[in-house]
A and B are shown apart, each in its own frame.
Chain A
Amino acid sequence: MYLGKRMQEQKSNIYLSQFEQFEKSLNGDASSHVHAIRKAAIAKFAELDFPTTKNEEWKYTDVSRIAKTAFKPALSTQGAIVTEKDLAKFSFGHPEWIRVVCVNGHFSKELSRISDLPKGVKVGSLAEAMKSEPALIEQHLAKHAKYDENAFVALSTAFLQDGVFMHIPDRVVVEKPIHVMMISTGKGEEFVAHPRNLIIAGESSQVSFIETYGSLGNETYFTNTVTEVVLAKNAIVEHERLQMESDNAYHVATLHTYQERDSNFKSNAMTFGGKLVRNNITATLDGEGAEATLNGLYLGTGEQHIDNHTCIIHAKPHCPSHELYKGILAEKSKGVFNGKIFVLKDAQKTDAKQTNKNLILSDEASIDTKPQLEIFANDVKCTHGATIGQLDEEALFYLRSRGVSKNKARDLLIYAFASDVIERITVEPLREELHRILHKRLEAAHELEAE
């Protein structure tokens, strides 16, 4: 591959040479449909390079730490040893759930437990699906998450190898939730994993999946994941996402959904882990009566930086969208929320509601929040609101005056703040887990505060 001189000076050049090595390792596969996409994506990446804070989309999130680190691509599970016991801490007390496990971005057949699925449902490795489902792959893979605009999507697409594939045929309902576990672990080496997921829900089908990102230790690595979810007419997909990676991890996650008529997509995205986190969600409502709900909860402690960028594209009439993101920022953490709503010319009778609320627990924590509405239709209802507040001192005193300790009182008020996001999650064990995580992560923050 030819690399111009200008490109070699870029921070991205390490990835370009890594791509050459990656290509060599592919051997026979290098001529496939997917590989053509990879090549186009790496070329785009070279052109785009990592964004700087001069880029409006990245104004508050400085990714130079990612750009500067020579993360080595995890081309396989890297011989990582993950045991049943390791998985227990990500199982919410339900090891019997259907689970699809990836280690360092690569599907693990040994750890996955896929059974009891309705007839015709395919759940498993994306690498496998590239061979067994060429038509679906060609139709959808990299068609929704565009790699020509976003450098991280381009990079992820260039190194696209494996991840989770799901196909729910028309009219099939999967009753039990499917648990996707993305586990990262490494021995000292700073690596990058690019797990890639493709979920295709056929007409009038229904599925709910929980995606958990976790690490075994506090290793430093980079997760750059891309998920595409396609909903055919009248399909229902619920997506719970729990990110609890190591506090030293870098995490960039991109989710693109594409919805046809009358489909319904619900997302609950919870962020707890990571040193530097950027979540991008783009939901495209491209059929009348399609509905999207994007809810999120983020908790920053220590020096975490957590950025949520959401974008809802209303392309057709009569689509409601609902968005509620709540952030809790403790210690020296920083949060960013940017909520875009595009209402295209044809999307009359759009009903879009966006809310972002933030609770700041210390003087050194902060949030930059910005709604961004671009409306090209004339008969629509769009509302948005953002708030930034602190714990209510009066409420705190009221609780304490009854004998509740200061920390417990703070916890109660923080749970109360988070509760309207948590209560909307239908999977009960997950709600319980969220309370546990909140408690545990805030405990350390409280202790520091007390000094």
Chain B
Amino acid sequence: MALLEIKNLHAAVEGNQILEGVNLSINLGEVHAIMGPNGSGKSTLAQVIAGRDSYNVTEGQILYKGEDLLELDPEERAQKGVFLAFQYPVEIPGVSNMYFLRSALNAIRKSRSEEELDAMDFLKLVKEKAKFVEMDETLLNRPVNHGFSGGEKKRNEIFQMAVLEPTLAVLDETDSGLDIDALRTVANGINKLRDKNRAVIVVTHYQRLLNYIVPDFVHVLVDGQIVKSGGKELALELEEKGYDWIREKTAVSA
């Protein structure tokens, strides 16, 4: 059984149909890259997987570990191991990063009948993970993403992922706007998580990231549909030729 099975997914936002029949199957241990032009629906797909309710699923299905994912609240999905690194992480003034993350981790642990971590154990864990994604420790005590630079926000997403250790991580353009050092750390963080009991979806515009995280599959999302899938060479081809050739090809074959 696939870890994630997306079948004929249609989704709309504010009356505009964005996803027009997405099919995608992801197994444990795999890394899938999703590429595609601006506005093609990549973030919409990511947010629908995470459970954002402003996106309306109008048709189709998502099965996660064989269970209907769309029936679950966002927090239930997280508790079952789904994680979304946001393209635009939200700033939350007044809520400390540490307090938030501890609440999140303990909610997840509790849902699995694991013991909650006390402040001391949590601090130890957090310090270790912060080091691992080279995140400045002073950011931990600041309000969530508040006043963070673009790069700090992305690092914070990976840091949260490292702490929460999800089964399915969806990373929405976590590489965009990062300098090469930051990119390496972020990629490192992702690779560390990569094992046979997890799967990763990386949404990206840049082949560059895929030098560090070598994907098993590359998919091209255009106008709300996956129009082409292939191996890692597809990313190179896309970088070279852009998306128009795929558009033309699909138009012809349609």
Contact = CB atoms under 8 A, between A and B. Distances in A.
Interface of A: 392-395, 397-406, 408-409, 412-413, 415-417, 419-420
Given A400-B73, A403-B78, A416 B92 contact: yes
A408 B104 CA distance: 10
Where chain A touches its partner, the secondary structure class is helix
A416 B107 CA distance: 19
Contacts of B99: 412
Contacts of A397: 50-53, 74, 90
A404 B100 contact: yes
28 contacts: A392-B90, A393-B54, A394-B90, A395-B92, A397-B50, A397-B74, A398-B90, A399-B104, A400-B78, A401-B51, A401-B52, A401-B83, A401-B84, A402-B78, A403-B104, A403-B105, A403-B164, A405-B75, A406-B73, A408-B107, A409-B75, A412-B95, A412-B100, A413-B94, A413-B95, A416-B92, A419-B94, A420-B94
A399 B77 CA distance: 12
Interface in B155-188: 160, 164
B135 interface: no
A425 B94 CA distance: 16
Interface of B: 50-54, 73-75, 77-79, 83-84, 86, 89-90, 92-95, 99-101, 103-105, 107-108, 111, 143-144, 160, 164
A419 B50 CA distance: 29
Contact of A402 (B53, B93, B94, B164): B164
A417 B75 CA distance: 22
Contact of B92 (A399, A403, A408, A420): A399
Nearest to B108: A403
Given A398-B89, A401-B78, A403-B79, A417 B73 contact: no
A416 B53 CA distance: 23
A389 to B, nearest CB: 13
Given A406-B75, A415-B94, A416-B95, A401 B50 contact: yes
Contacts of A399: 92, 95, 100, 104
B103 A408 contact: yes
A416 B93 contact: yes
Contacts of B104: 399, 402-404
Contacts of B108: 403
A408 B74 CA distance: 13
Contacts of A412: 92, 95, 99-100, 103
A31 B99 CA distance: 62
Contacts of A409: 75
A102 B94 CA distance: 37
A403 B73 CA distance: 9
A416 B100 CA distance: 11
Given A400-B74, A416-B93, A405 B86 contact: no
Contacts of B83: 401-402
Nearest to B101: A402
B235 to A, nearest CB: 27
Contacts of A405: 75, 107
B107 to A, nearest CB: 4
Contacts of B100: 399, 402, 404, 412
Nearest to A393: B54
Given A397-B52, A397-B74, A408-B103, A403 B93 contact: no
Nearest to A407: B75
A406 B93 CA distance: 18
A406 B103 CA distance: 12
Nearest to A419: B94
B93 A398 contact: no
Contacts of A400: 51, 73-75, 78
Contacts of A401: 50-52, 74-75, 77-78, 83-84, 86
Contacts of A413: 92, 94-95
Contacts of A417: 94
A420 B93 CA distance: 10
Given A395-B90, A416-B93, A420-B94, A404 B73 contact: no
A192 B99 CA distance: 44
A397 B178 CA distance: 25
Nearest to A412: B95
A401 B78 CA distance: 6
A399 B245 CA distance: 40
A409 B100 CA distance: 9
A397 B50 CA distance: 9
Among A412, A417, A420, which residue has the most Cβ atoms of chain B within 10 A? A412
A420 B143 CA distance: 13
Nearest to B105: A403
Contacts of B75: 400-406, 409
A189 B105 CA distance: 51
B179 to A, nearest CB: 25
A100 B221 CA distance: 71
